[in-house]
Structure 1
Amino acid sequence: MTTSSAAIVAEGLRKRYRDGLALDGFDLEVASGTVCGLLGPNGAGKTTSVRILSTLLRPDGGHAEVAGFDVTRQPDQVRYRIGLVGQHPALDEALSGRQNLVLFGLLFHLGRRRARQRAVELLERFGLADVGEQPVSTYSGGMRRRLDLAAGMVLAPAVLFLDEPTTGLDPRGRNEVWESIRVLVRAGTTVLLTTQHLDEADQLADRISVVEAGRVIADGTPDELKTRLGGDRIEVIVGKPTDLALAVEQVRRVVADEPTVDVDRRAISAGVGHRAGAVVEVLRALDAAQVAVVDIALRRPTLDDVFLHVTGHRVTAEVAA
């Protein structure tokens, strides 16, 4: 249901393509001035939902509002209040970074003087002031990404859609973008973020919605989602792939939780609650079964555990949906 504090509301959104349903009863509510991380495996419907919410695509059914306006009946009102940064930079490479930002300002009807002022502000914020007069064709991939993000922030929009905002950035560049996003949110902007980087979602998101087969299947704060897995988890990495099945059998005998397996990493993970002695028990069982262990540890659940648990996929394997 729509609430007065919600900047984004989607109810029962449906969208069909030739090869099937992309959205099948998609529901989402994002409170104003917060960051919502949208996670999901390949083909889950994340990009389709963002395209509908940003008025680039019409739904086949359901209802959605952004910044208090209906995305289908009032698209112009929605567009005036949102920013959208897609997966690929939307820049004119023949123009300089400053000229690109001025152009976006003029397209948003800021007026030439204000557009120039805003360009200077954004170049400084994103660490591009020293290259602002250079053609974008000379920029590195990370620099282009930062400029593209700056272009999406020209109006300091009420709602900002970010699709993989830090792709191609080094750790320093990622931290700069993260801080810029935090500044926007503190000023009241609402952010809907799709990302492959779970640490990014953990750093930025107030709430996370996990999408699978066109609908949200899990929703909550990062801590709430981790807590639902139940206490600590034990992780075992075995030396040989052929030992995985036997290792799973031994772990299953010791812990109550059904183990999950990452074949590529030769890793087995299972919830153990708060049993401090679980590591020793599992290690003894594996030793008795003559399973060579490379590493074993007890740790808190991560968002990767949450994602794997609810979808059956690791987020690191995903591409744009």
Structure 2
Amino acid sequence: MNDRGENDLKYIPPQSPIADPRWTLLAQGLARVAFGLPRRTKLVLEGEENLPSTPALFAPNHSHKFDFLPLRYLLLKRKMHLVTWIKAREFKDPRMAKVLWTMGNIPLSSRGFLISADFESLVGRRPTEEEYRRLRACVDEGHSLPRGEVYERMLTTPREMLGVSFDPGVMTYRQAQRGLYYRVMQGTLKLARECMGEGHHMHFYPQGAVSSRLTPGKVGVIEAALALDLPIIPVGISGCRETFVGQGALTRKGVIRVEIGAPIHVDRAQYGAGFRPFHPDDEDGFRELLQADADRVMARINDLVDPAYRFSEEAEYDGKRGIARFY
């Protein structure tokens, strides 16, 4: 961190993402108490024949903040290490960051997170929903920003934009943000490849934010699979909402069912040899194809979860909205 604000990406220093074996053993012991004792939570694993023998990208639904625990525990029992891509906001607390690193996790920064973090670092407060919407439209679609002191500062103030130099005389705000996103994601992929070199598997939430029911998938899961040349393993996790106590990690008596689906292979050829995963220009150019592949993954997950966790036109979305997703 530095004196410009807590959102500087220097709060995510280069560290090894490989889980500390001692912490892994401790986590296994705690999970055994939560999931293994009589009259406690019962875990049911289905589709075990679909578990891969080489690194793969596990893509489950995300109905609870701690729904990674039963999946990780079941895989660890089978000597399979899972590395979760976690939103970068979780690494802002140094104490939490230490736990996340030692447990084997990778920070994931979205475009929206980078835009709002840079705003807060420069202006000294969070953007309003309107400010964020306009900045996002500027970065994504090239829309002009309205007149105003805040927008003028965003466009013309030279600064370290989350650890990357921004000189308005050399590039536009839009170019800087898009370049920052691509650079940050290359760092994330580097950490992922380091974990894969140790035989570890990736864990990516394709729907993004926590939601009781499935929501449309984000294209990032497809880009990650393409960048790392990994098959996607769809996973349905049911029972977390009923079994975890509130939004904490404690569980009550109940059943959590984890179903592993057959692997999905993304056709690399349809994107062309020059496709650059997580590059904003290529994301925009291949948006329709990327979304179609993401939809295919989500449809498979929908088949693996219980009815109460599936897509629903009637059920209202209950996940975080707007800039709340980045804090």
Shorter-chain TM-score: which interval?
0.3 to 0.5
Structure (1 or 2) with the larger CA radius of gyration: 1
TM-score, normalised via structure 2 length: 0.33
Which fold has the larger relative contact order, with Cα–Cα distance below 8 Å and residues 6 or more apart in sequence?
Answer: 2
Structure whose residues are more often strand by fraction: 1
Tell me the TM-score normalised to structure 1 length.
0.34
